[in-house]
């Protein structure tokens, strides 16, 4: 799935944003389980790429501190470098094997509404 322009279908962009929010929820569970061992083993944890492709299962290795840094902003997600969807997000930072993206305004609203930490 690749969407490169803002002129693409709004419904498709909304679906992408919802897919990304779902992966974020999965990663919150991964973090909870890994957090129990974080003080014993500070090595990176394999999270799931938070791109908008519903079929993606690419692992993204982050330390719990890196994960928390991304998660501290509700409109930011981490994805495999070639999974950036320019129509819905912009790259704000590059990690060693991932990039951090920030949602564009329409999709940012969905990201904030579905943020599991905002409740």
What 3-state class would DSSP assign to 119?
coil
Distance from C-alpha of 96 to C-alpha of 112, rounded to nearest angstrom: 26
The yes-or-no verdict on residue 41 having pLDDT over 90 is no
User: In the predicted model, what is the mean pLDDT of the chain?
Assistant: 86
Smallest CA-to-CA distance from 20 within 57, 52, 47, 68 is with 52
Using one digit for the tens of pLDDT, what is the confidence trace for 46-93? 999 999 998 999 999 999 889 999 999 999 999 999 999 999 999 999
- Percent of the chain exceeding pLDDT 70 equals 87
pLDDT at 37: 61
pTM of the model: 0.80
Q: Rounded to whole angstroms, what are the CA distances from 74 to 15, 55, 63, 67, 68?
A: 18, 23, 18, 12, 11
The answer to whether residue 95 is domain-embedded is: yes
Q: Structurally, how many domains does the chain consist of?
A: 1
Q: How far apart are CA 21 and CA 32, in angstroms?
A: 17
63 lies in some domain: yes
State which residues form the domain around 90.
Answer: 10-113
């Amino acid at each position: 799935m690749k969407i490169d322009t803002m002129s693409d279908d709004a419904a498709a962009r909304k679906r992408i944003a919802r897919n990304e929010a779902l992966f974020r929820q999965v990663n919150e569970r991964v973090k909870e389980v890994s957090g129990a061992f974080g003080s014993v083993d500070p090595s990176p944890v394999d999270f799931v790429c938070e791109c908008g492709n519903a079929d993606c299962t690419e692992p993204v290795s982050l330390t719990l501190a890196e994960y928390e840094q991304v998660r501290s902003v509700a409109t930011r997600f981490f994805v495999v470098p070639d999974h950036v969807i320019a129509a819905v997000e912009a790259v704000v930072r590059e990690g060693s094997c991932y990039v951090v993206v920030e949602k564009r305004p329409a999709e940012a609203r969905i990201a904030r509404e579905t943020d599991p930490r905002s409740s």
